[in-house]
Amino acid sequence: MNRGRPGSGPLRTGLIGAGRMGSFHAATLATRLDCTELVAIADVDEERAASLAGDLGVPRVYADAEDLLADGQVEAVVIAAPARAHAALVLGALEAGKAVFCEKPMAVTSEEAEQVVRAARGSRLAVQVGFNRRFAPDFVAAREAAANGELGSVHLLRSLTRDPGLAAPERVPAWTIFLETLIHDFDMLAFLNPGASAVEVFALADALVAPAYKEHGLLDTAMVTVRFSNGALAVAEASFRAVYGYDVRAEVFGSGGMVTAGAPQRGAAVRYSDAGALQETVRADTELFADAYVAELSAFAAAVQGGAAPAVGPADAQAALGIALACVESVRRHAPVRVAGDRAFTGPGAAEGSEVMTLTP
Amino acid sequence: MNRGRPGSGPLRTGLIGAGRMGSFHAATLATRLDCTELVAIADVDEERAASLAGDLGVPRVYADAEDLLADGQVEAVVIAAPARAHAALVLGALEAGKAVFCEKPMAVTSEEAEQVVRAARGSRLAVQVGFNRRFAPDFVAAREAAANGELGSVHLLRSLTRDPGLAAPERVPAWTIFLETLIHDFDMLAFLNPGASAVEVFALADALVAPAYKEHGLLDTAMVTVRFSNGALAVAEASFRAVYGYDVRAEVFGSGGMVTAGAPQRGAAVRYSDAGALQETVRADTELFADAYVAELSAFAAAVQGGAAPAVGPADAQAALGIALACVESVRRHAPVRVAGDRAFTGPGAAEGSEVMTLTP
Amino acid sequence: MNRGRPGSGPLRTGLIGAGRMGSFHAATLATRLDCTELVAIADVDEERAASLAGDLGVPRVYADAEDLLADGQVEAVVIAAPARAHAALVLGALEAGKAVFCEKPMAVTSEEAEQVVRAARGSRLAVQVGFNRRFAPDFVAAREAAANGELGSVHLLRSLTRDPGLAAPERVPAWTIFLETLIHDFDMLAFLNPGASAVEVFALADALVAPAYKEHGLLDTAMVTVRFSNGALAVAEASFRAVYGYDVRAEVFGSGGMVTAGAPQRGAAVRYSDAGALQETVRADTELFADAYVAELSAFAAAVQGGAAPAVGPADAQAALGIALACVESVRRHAPVRVAGDRAFTGPGAAEGSEVMTLTP
Amino acid sequence: MNRGRPGSGPLRTGLIGAGRMGSFHAATLATRLDCTELVAIADVDEERAASLAGDLGVPRVYADAEDLLADGQVEAVVIAAPARAHAALVLGALEAGKAVFCEKPMAVTSEEAEQVVRAARGSRLAVQVGFNRRFAPDFVAAREAAANGELGSVHLLRSLTRDPGLAAPERVPAWTIFLETLIHDFDMLAFLNPGASAVEVFALADALVAPAYKEHGLLDTAMVTVRFSNGALAVAEASFRAVYGYDVRAEVFGSGGMVTAGAPQRGAAVRYSDAGALQETVRADTELFADAYVAELSAFAAAVQGGAAPAVGPADAQAALGIALACVESVRRHAPVRVAGDRAFTGPGAAEGSEVMTLTP
């Protein structure tokens, strides 16, 4: 490790949340990136924060995120706290004049999302949301194919997320599958269907992995169809338990062709035996998206230092949340539900049918 | 070519319908299979029938299917007429005492389907439906994985069909995408989810390929979610126009793993150039399923000659039609619709919600 | 099955050799192809011939191939006898005025090969050699890429054959790995390097699969480098025992790119479990090349009936044998050996070095 | 970036050679790894060294490698100078008491190699050689399959290197294809055939990419067969110009199965159009082996700091060089050549034939 560029220096960053994802980001900020320096860590579990700080040589530790936000040495914050706390922390950071990188979801209610969007717009500070797939080469290539016209008009899309396991089902909040897992897929569908917005959803969800937790509101398997303003039809799928590992894929089909992104296979090594031809599979998000997690923070630092708007910001998070909240309502009403704030839509079902979703979870 | 097994002799078969699919089946019956002999061809376009008969050395030609059904030399009939005529022809054939292989769909209304199921049951004659994918090795392997327990409980399924092109959109009947195209996928979803039946559907469809024909009722792009009696959630997709060829795939995901079947790539040859690594794609159903089309007729002949029930019969066709008809109703009502005749279901949405679909297209 | 084209009728074919490959060809001639009729079978084991004839409804059976060649009903013969008998049988057939399809190798000494080439040229009868890979789509695509210029100048080639097993090592003649197995690869290298001819070989071979049989002359593993007249360097590999099945691949690399053909994987189905992603592998030549074996006989019948020269004939077999014989000599001398009859060559090693191989095995 | 572990601190490293590879290693040492610190850079082109040092915040710059070796702040050196200078620099570094990471080849004559092996053994300092493929997951997986017994006895191997282009053919030293390119493959073959050593080679090489430079001794295409002490037969191939990118692959086939490693395809995204299914290809070594280049330096630092022997050291480099030098001799003599220092070998050709190669290039 060496010091950053003389003159400007690396971006002095504070981390809020020292859990699994926070620790990964911490290592990126402290050791993988030359353009950032991790100067403070806050976690309600102060011991956890201190231990991580010790490992990485981070000088300051806080139990209270407020204190980190008040730290004058901190130029930017990375928020990896529990999802329900994100919006308030982003607002606090903006008030304190810090640029913000916030893990997804940026917010879990439409009111929160609207507040953050307005605050970010008013502040002129950089706010980036952790939709890391936008920084993974496969998905970037798919987006390019959709954006450069080679796919023609987009007709059908698919995005899916299957996690390797469910650590503690009893602690997973209700609607997590839409608000924290499929939120990635909703953003990806928008990313892969440039210029269009989601109009309506129909969502199915069930507790198939851990039926015992269904009475506590846990839904671990979901399938959602989304109709977009350009007529494109999309499906998003999620499961909280794939025995073969971590499976994230997308597909875009249009009048000019198709592009697929992602595969469960890891590497190109193939072992042939009497049993057949075997390839290893990807086992974790931090493995599949190791480079993307670094790339998004690198892009964030570059945006802050260059005074540019981040590539993926509050409005994108708000759009994805709009789909997720409509899904919650769709499950509750067992009916198709229009996405709040969608653009004018004149396709089938436009006149009659689905009401605009209004409630918050 | 040589004569069939001495003693029994090949199955003397008559073909009704000398169009594209009929001609392919004719060649199979006449030249590819030793266990069948093509002895008569009927087509309303008698010249077309005569030309095909001439090419293949088939002795008798009819303009009227009734006459073929009355031909005492004919032991079994293969029906490849337009979809709307299928059910009446199957009923006529059973009445005439012939075994029947009928191209999908076997029927296009629930009344027709019910009549055929009853007639077949009463007749003790073999009736097989042309769900050819059940005879393609990839899909057989996927079924085996689902049936032998290695996938555990099935949670998520996908089946899709994308055709290379739309020959004459003005002549495609309304609802064809459900009744004739996705009918394959509905059967495949049932095949890949052994022991479960479809409970409810939600269907979206639009004219994205040929919007000009939408006012004539043409829907060329569709996405359907299906909930099964075991809780599994499925999606079926179709498009009438894939520029890269003929694309048929399926995926089954369960608590024990996943199996995927089908791929657009043809063969294993890869050409590497400055542009990247290029593989050819499959261009036609008669290419992708060439062997499956032969295998299904071979299995049919074996069933007839061995006195066994065909592997895929009227009840399977009725089940797939039930899903298709529910889709039609779902599009009309823009709401989830229960599948007629489904088994008891106690999942979410069981009490309230979707009515049972009753009308016929 | 139906009768062939009225007028001309199917090609009346006799089969010599009712072993594994002969039986496969018999079924093709009798039942898979409309353009051929199998009218006679000869095998020194007359019971074996009779049993096969019974299964397929073939009217005449001979213990002596001479009698089949004298049968006036036979227009063409397919030779699937042991390799050492091939050349004499081809010569006999030509003398009897029959067109000939001969399994590889057409001959096992250079004298035999020369005799057949001359006899075929003099007779104006069609003689085709069973280099079936030339009729497999992957390898045809590779050839096209090499021939149409998209690969530019060919620099490096690879062809390999790995058989699933060694039935009876004690009965495998010495040098079989070159004369009967790698002969396919030598032909394929020539096929994939259009316009060039083999100049020199260096061969290594050993008994690694079944070392106990080495003292009987068995070599079960071989690696050969071949230098071609256009400077291209090639490697051919063979093993008599691959536990994962039947593995035949080729690769051509040139100034304009690369093409690869063949893969051990069978179909596109993939099964994902905790162990990874598993695909089935090809297990037998009659599976991998099922269609190619039919296509080569179909092409042969078409050539005979159309009066055209077969696509792969005695000169090709002679060229492949030239490489195989040079390999035998290279192993004996443990030195590079020039291929007899090669064209003028001015590359490195042209002046000094390797002598022309003359002896016969 | 943050400071390393308190107490021990990062490994203070000096870099010799600020060219393409040196610059890549410099960035790794300075910014990607927390366990290393780049404290000095030496290059005969002092401006180039200074520019790189400026970019990375490296405090000290030298024109003379001797001065860097004399720098007391430097604990370890990374040598990325021209190949011909490697051995002398390693010897100098060892004399100065520094641990050494040396890019391949460690030496270009057998005398040099022997000197380094002895010096390293005497010094007890860590010496690691830049065989980066040993740190790439695909090749590690292949090695494991070979080492853990699942491949049984190894029978056939292949390793290949195709570079994207030839920057300045007029400046490429003679025999580079063996000494600097195929040296990777020779090491990989040994890595993938655990416990065996190379016994004999036969090498073919030509100027097919840039024939005009052949008279200057440039050989740009080569194919080598290697026989190992366990009887295994291997082929190594190289080309200096692959239009589709950077292609490095390996294959190990044994009595228990096969493993393949590497593929030209980059990522899993596939674009389907009327032209077929297209995947991007890898374009550079620093792309394909980006992580492996970091991993090897990380492993080096860990070895130095932990007092352990590096995983790949002078003896491995000596073994690979032995094969390369035998190839040079084989091309000169157009004959198989025994590898100096190989273990006792009793296979075919053991008694007669190839002499031991003695000369140096």
State chain D's mean pLDDT as an integer: 92
Q: How far is B174 from chain C (nearest CA, A)?
A: 34
Of residues D206, D257, D353, nearest to C233 (C-beta)? D206
Same structural domain, A239 and A105: no
Taking an 8 Å cut-off on Cβ atoms, the answer to whether A336 and B202 are in contact is yes
pLDDT band at A8 (very low <50, low <70, confident <90, very high): low
**Rounded CA Rg of chain C:** 21
Same structural domain, C183 and C330: yes
Same structural domain, B201 and B142: yes
Q: How far is D50 from chain B (nearest CA, A)?
A: 36
- Is the pLDDT reported for residue A264 higher than 80? yes
Taking an 8 Å cut-off on Cβ atoms, the answer to whether D209 and C234 are in contact is no
Closest CA in chain A for residue D257: A273
Same structural domain, D236 and D274: yes
State how far the alpha carbon of C31 is from the alpha carbons of A116, A261, C7, C244, D140, in Å: 74, 45, 20, 31, 50
Chain C adjacent subunits, 3+ CB pairs under 8 A: A, B, D
**B336 vs B329: CA distance, rounded Å:** 9
Q: Does any domain span residue B215?
A: yes
pLDDT band at B264 (very low <50, low <70, confident <90, very high): very high
Predicted confidence at residue A6, as pLDDT, reads 38
Same structural domain, D283 and D302: no
Closest CA in chain C for residue D350: C334
Taking an 8 Å cut-off on Cβ atoms, the answer to whether D261 and A268 are in contact is yes
Contacts of B243 in chain D (CB under 8 A): 273-274
Same structural domain, C180 and C329: yes
pLDDT band at B319 (very low <50, low <70, confident <90, very high): very high
Domain count along chain C: 2
pLDDT tens per residue across span D10-37: 999 999 999 999 999 999 999 889 899 9
Q: Beta partners for A205?
A: A222
Q: How far is B273 from chain C (nearest CA, A)?
A: 5
Of residues B150, B265, B269, nearest to C142 (C-beta)? B269
Run means of pLDDT, 10 residues per run, chain C, 361 residues = 51 97 96 92 97 96 98 98 96 98 97 97 96 98 98 98 87 92 98 97 97 91 98 98 98 98 97 98 95 97 95 97 98 96 43 36 36
Of A290-304, C186-200, D1-15, where does mean pLDDT reach its minimum?
A: D1-15
Predicted confidence at residue B348, as pLDDT, reads 40
**D186 vs D171: CA distance, rounded Å:** 24
pLDDT tens per residue across span A43-93: 999 999 999 999 999 999 999 999 999 999 999 999 999 999 999 999 999
Q: Does any domain span residue A2?
A: no
Average pLDDT of the residues in D100-111? 97
pLDDT band at B133 (very low <50, low <70, confident <90, very high): very high
Of residues D265, D277, D278, nearest to B275 (C-beta)? D278
Backbone φ and ψ for D337, nearest 5 degrees, come out as -135, 135
Same structural domain, D189 and D210: yes
Q: Does any domain span residue A149?
A: yes
Tell me, rounded to whole angstroms, the distance of Cα A206 from its chain centroid. Answer: 22
Contacts of D158 in chain C (CB under 8 A): 237
Reported as type and span, the H/E element at residue A338 is strand A337-338
What number is the ipTM of this complex? 0.93
pLDDT tens per residue across span D236-284: 999 999 999 999 999 999 999 999 999 999 999 999 999 999 999 999 9
Which of D247, D278, D280 to substitute to test the interface with B, most B CBs within 10 Å? D278
Same structural domain, A295 and A236: no
Q: Does any domain span residue B53?
A: yes
Of residues B37, B263, B273, nearest to C2 (C-beta)? B37
Same structural domain, B147 and B277: yes
Q: Which residues of A touch C (CB under 8 A)?
A: 243-244, 264-265, 272-281
Contacts of B10 in chain C (CB under 8 A): 1
Same structural domain, B150 and B127: no
Q: For chain D, what percent of residues have pLDDT higher than 70?
A: 92
Average pLDDT of the residues in B98-116? 97
State chain A's mean pLDDT as an integer: 92
Taking an 8 Å cut-off on Cβ atoms, the answer to whether D2 and A57 are in contact is yes
Same structural domain, D167 and D113: no
- Count CB pairs under 8 A between chains A and B: 114
Taking an 8 Å cut-off on Cβ atoms, the answer to whether C137 and B269 are in contact is yes
Taking an 8 Å cut-off on Cβ atoms, the answer to whether C264 and A272 are in contact is yes
Q: Does any domain span residue C220?
A: yes
Backbone φ and ψ for C330, nearest 5 degrees, come out as -65, -40
- Is the pLDDT reported for residue A210 higher than 50? yes
Which of B188, B271, B281 to substitute to test the interface with C, most C CBs within 10 Å? B271
pLDDT tens per residue across span C288-326: 999 999 999 999 999 999 999 999 999 999 999 999 999
pLDDT band at B5 (very low <50, low <70, confident <90, very high): very low
Average pLDDT of the residues in D137-152? 98
The better pLDDT of the pair D344, A322 is held by A322
Q: Does any domain span residue D29?
A: yes
Q: Which H, E and C letters describe chain D, residue by residue? A: CCCCCCCCCCEEEEEECCCHHHHHHHHHHHHHCCCEEEEEEECCCHHHHHHHHHHHCCCEEECCHHHHHHCCCCCEEEECCCHHHHHHHHHHHHHCCCEEEECCCCCCCHHHHHHHHHHHHHHCCCEEECCHHHHCHHHHHHHHHHHCCCCCCEEEEEEEEECCCCCCHHHCCCCHHHHHHHHHHHHHHHHCCCCCCEEEEEEEEECCCCHHHHHHCCCCEEEEEEEECCCCEEEEEEECCCCCCCEEEEEEEECCEEEEECCCECCCCEEEECCEEEECECCCHHHHCHHHHHHHHHHHHHHHHHCCCCCCCHHHHHHHHHHHHHHHHHHHHCCCEECCCCCCCCCCCCCCCCCECCCCC
Closest CA in chain D for residue A3: D57
Average pLDDT of the residues in B338-345? 64
**C269 vs C138: CA distance, rounded Å:** 19
Contacts of B271 in chain C (CB under 8 A): 141, 145, 150, 257-259
Contacts of C273 in chain A (CB under 8 A): 243-244
Of residues C1, C142, C257, nearest to B4 (C-beta)? C1
pLDDT band at A3 (very low <50, low <70, confident <90, very high): very low
Same structural domain, A274 and A305: no
pLDDT band at B8 (very low <50, low <70, confident <90, very high): low
Which CATH number covers residue A56? Answer: 3.40.50.720
Q: Which residues of A touch B (CB under 8 A)?
A: 153, 155-156, 162, 202, 204-206, 208-209, 221-223, 225, 227, 231-235, 237, 239, 241-244, 247, 253, 255-258, 264, 331, 334-336, 347-349, 352-354
Q: Does any domain span residue D62?
A: yes
Taking an 8 Å cut-off on Cβ atoms, the answer to whether C1 and B2 are in contact is yes
Q: Which domain holds residue D124?
A: 11-132+290-312
Taking an 8 Å cut-off on Cβ atoms, the answer to whether B348 and A354 are in contact is no
| B286 token code pair | 């008669």
The contacts of residue C235 (CB under 8 Å, 6+ apart) are C157, C158, C159, C223, C224, C225, C226, D223, D225, D235, D237
pLDDT tens per residue across span A127-159: 999 999 999 999 999 999 999 999 999 999 999
Task: Tell me the residue type at B20.
Answer: R
pLDDT tens per residue across span C1-25: 343 333 368 999 999 999 999 999 9
Taking an 8 Å cut-off on Cβ atoms, the answer to whether B247 and A258 are in contact is yes
Q: Does any domain span residue D87?
A: yes
Does the reported pTM lie above 0.80? yes
Which of A144, A189, A225 to substitute to test the interface with B, most B CBs within 10 Å? A225
Predicted confidence at residue A168, as pLDDT, reads 80
Q: How far is A337 from chain B (nearest CA, A)?
A: 10
pLDDT tens per residue across span B51-77: 999 999 999 999 999 999 999 999 999
Which CATH number covers residue D198? Answer: 3.30.360.10
Backbone φ and ψ for D113, nearest 5 degrees, come out as -60, -45
- Do the Cβ atoms of A197 and A228 come closer than 8 Å? yes
- Is the pLDDT reported for residue B144 higher than 70? yes
Taking an 8 Å cut-off on Cβ atoms, the answer to whether C155 and D239 are in contact is yes
The contacts of residue D166 (CB under 8 Å, 6+ apart) are D172, D209, D210, D220, D240, D241
Q: Which residues of C touch B (CB under 8 A)?
A: 1-6, 10, 29-34, 36-38, 56-58, 137-139, 141-142, 145, 150, 256-263, 265-274, 280
